Amino acid sequence: MLDRTDPTFRESVLKGLAKDPKVLEPKWFYDAAGSALFDEICELPEYYPTRTEKSILEERAAEIASELGNDVILYEPGAGSLQKARILLEALEGLARFIPSDISAAHLEAAASDLRKAFPDIAIDPVACDFTKHLEMPAIADDRPVTIFFPGSTIGNFEPGQAENLLRRFRKETGARQLLIGVDLVKDRETLVAAYDDAAGVTAAFNLNLLKRINRELEADFALHQFQHHALFNESRSRIEMHLESLCEQSVSISGERFDFRDGERIHTENSYKYTPERFASLAGKAGWVKPHLWTDQNRLFGVFLFQSEEAD
């Protein structure tokens, strides 16, 4: 499939690499190769979030379904391959409408037509939008209450203040009454670091693929072997950080602009915030999401929260 370059990619990259320290936004990880690498990450023995969240959704599906009710519109921002939605749709017998949204219209349409075959009784109405900017609603008359489904701990990519704004926007832009959200929980450093620095090097390849993408789409000349994946747990900020570290002094040309790197200089490519249940409930509360209900696994690795909109009180 042809990957059309998002017009904002160039601007975001040039701006991020002009900063000190240099940064790149994690949303650019997911070109075709990056999405395939992420799918591989989800299968790694060290990467517990995906399988843990899946097992919570599967094991608690009936309970979750009875809390949600059937007569809702389920809206998933950044729905991607719709893997997790399938689990929920199976549990929500009689769900009327599902609205997956994603930045990549082509992938979304393909995933949606597969989903229609599996769930012929559910209206599936994909909308292409970038949820970091705006949640689009399809032009359909249906006044059932909206439930936002935001799994995968995607919320962990945002600074806490940004996360709060995002969750407030989700509520206001869709009029949603409920939020079902997956959140990775704080745990010991070894478990966390291993999940982002796996033995097989898949996460390293995922991180470095960002430079490959810049080379291909933005006429750049990153020497990939001169950068190294680095993951660390920043405990005081309760987040995993991923960086790409320059292994020597070098300069790189991107779209005709030159960027100098010191030996050991890092590009900060991702944050993945880890929450305690209390801290996450308090963040969501500030965004108008109240009455948390938490489902977790035996080891409390991962949390699936259901919140109600304060307006529904």
Whole-number minimum distance, CB 38 to ligand AVJ, in Å?
Answer: 7
Question: Are 196 and 203 contacting, i.e. CB atoms less than 8 angstroms apart?
Answer: yes
- Residue 294: which residues within 8 A CB-CB, separation 6 or more? 277, 281, 303, 304, 305
Cβ-based nearer residue to ligand AVJ, 101 or 203? 203
User: Interface residues for ligand AVJ in 202-231 (CB under 6 A)?
Assistant: 203
Among 81, 147, 157, 246, binds ligand AVJ (CB under 6 A): 157
Where does this chain touch ligand AVJ (CB under 6 A) — which range of 72-80, 107-115, 146-154, 254-262? 146-154
104 scored as a contact of ligand AVJ (CB under 6 A): no
Whole-number minimum distance, CB 84 to ligand AVJ, in Å?
Answer: 12
Interior/surface letters 170-179, b for 16+ CB within 10 angstroms, e for the rest: bbebbebbbb
Cβ-based nearer residue to ligand AVJ, 35 or 250? 35
φ and ψ of 126, to 5 deg:
-65, 145
As a dihedral over the C-alpha atoms of residue 46, residue 58, residue 104, residue 40, rounded to 10 degrees, the angle is 20
Interior/surface letters 119-155, b for 16+ CB within 10 angstroms, e for the rest: beebebbbbebbbeeebbbeeeeeeebbbbbbbbbbb
If you search the block for the tokens 């745990």, which residue do you land on? 187
34 scored as a contact of ligand AVJ (CB under 6 A): no
308 scored as a contact of ligand AVJ (CB under 6 A): no
Among 151, 152, 292, 303, binds ligand AVJ (CB under 6 A): 152
Which single residue brings its beta carbon nearest to ligand AVJ? Answer: 272
User: Interface residues for ligand AVJ in 61-90 (CB under 6 A)?
Assistant: none
Whole-number minimum distance, CB 136 to ligand AVJ, in Å?
Answer: 21
Among 28, 75, 196, 233, binds ligand AVJ (CB under 6 A): 196
Rg of the chain in Å (alpha carbons): 20
Strands 123-124 and 127-128, sheet pairing:
unpaired
Token pair of 135 as six digits: 């949640």
Among 154, 178, 209, 308, binds ligand AVJ (CB under 6 A): 154
User: Interface residues for ligand AVJ in 46-65 (CB under 6 A)?
Assistant: 49
> How many residues line the site for ligand AVJ (CB under 6 A)?
11
Question: Are 100 and 76 contacting, i.e. CB atoms less than 8 angstroms apart?
Answer: yes
Where does this chain touch ligand AVJ (CB under 6 A) — which range of 17-25, 79-87, 152-160, 291-299? 152-160
Binding mask of the shown chain, residues 242 to 271, with x at each position contacting ligand AVJ by CB under 6 A: ----------------------------x-
Cβ-based nearer residue to ligand AVJ, 151 or 288? 151
Among 101, 246, 272, 308, binds ligand AVJ (CB under 6 A): 272
- Residue 159: which residues within 8 A CB-CB, separation 6 or more? 271, 273
Cα separation, 91 vs 229, whole angstroms: 39
156 scored as a contact of ligand AVJ (CB under 6 A): yes
Cα separation, 27 vs 42, whole angstroms: 17
φ and ψ of 238, to 5 deg:
55, 50
Using CB under 6 A, list all residues that contact ligand AVJ. 41, 49, 152-154, 156-157, 196, 203, 270, 272
